[in-house]
Structure 1
Amino acid sequence: MAILKVIEVLANSSESWEDAAQNAVSQASKTVKNIRSVYVHEQSATVKNGKIDDFRVNVKITFEVN
């Protein structure tokens, strides 16, 4: 039986929400092993001079605990 744990991570990107989600997984995988899935819980963005300046995501990352 596998035991899974969920952590919540905030990340951003100047490119896209997809890139922000990838940044969250990339950074989390530096210290968290056995990542199984990522759930994008919330998306937001900041606007500067009428254009999106920064894409932000709040994700839940699920990983297996040994």
Structure 2
Amino acid sequence: MNQSVTGGNHSYKIIEVVGSSEKGSDDAIRNAIREAGRTLNNLDWFEVVGQRGHIDGDKVAHFQVSLKLGFRIES
């Protein structure tokens, strides 16, 4: 899902990414933002749009968090 949003005097592009972690949902969010930041400039905000996990036996094995990321479009 890609869309543009105008805020103030800036235009933003919105993308959706999924971060994952064995440690927890906060770490999954940080992983997604860190990875996206390697190729995207001007990241300004995120919105959590979903969470899910993987169960192995009777234990949580993996966390996944879906995020919308907003980044400013350079003029």
1:28 alignment partner AA? A
**Residue 61 of structure 2 corresponds to which residue in structure 1?**
53
Match of 1:32 among 30, 40, 63: 40
What is the aligned-residue identity percentage? Answer: 29
Take 2:48 and 2:39, find their aligned partners in 1: how far apart are those partners? 20
1:10 Cα deviation from its structure 2 partner: 1.1
2:30 match: secondary structure: helix
**Residue 11 of structure 1 corresponds to which residue in structure 2?**
19
Take 1:40 and 1:2, find their aligned partners in 2: how far apart are those partners? 22
Take 2:38 and 2:53, find their aligned partners in 1: how far apart are those partners? 25
Aligned-CA RMSD value:
0.6
Take 2:42 and 2:15, find their aligned partners in 1: how far apart are those partners? 13
Show structure 1 runs of 4+ deviating over 3 A. Answer: none
Q: Say how many residue pairs are matched.
A: 66
Higher relative contact order (CA 8 A, sep 6+): 1
When normalised by structure 2's length, the TM-score is: 0.85
Take 2:45 and 2:15, find their aligned partners in 1: how far apart are those partners? 11
Structure 2 unmatched runs, 5+ = 1-8
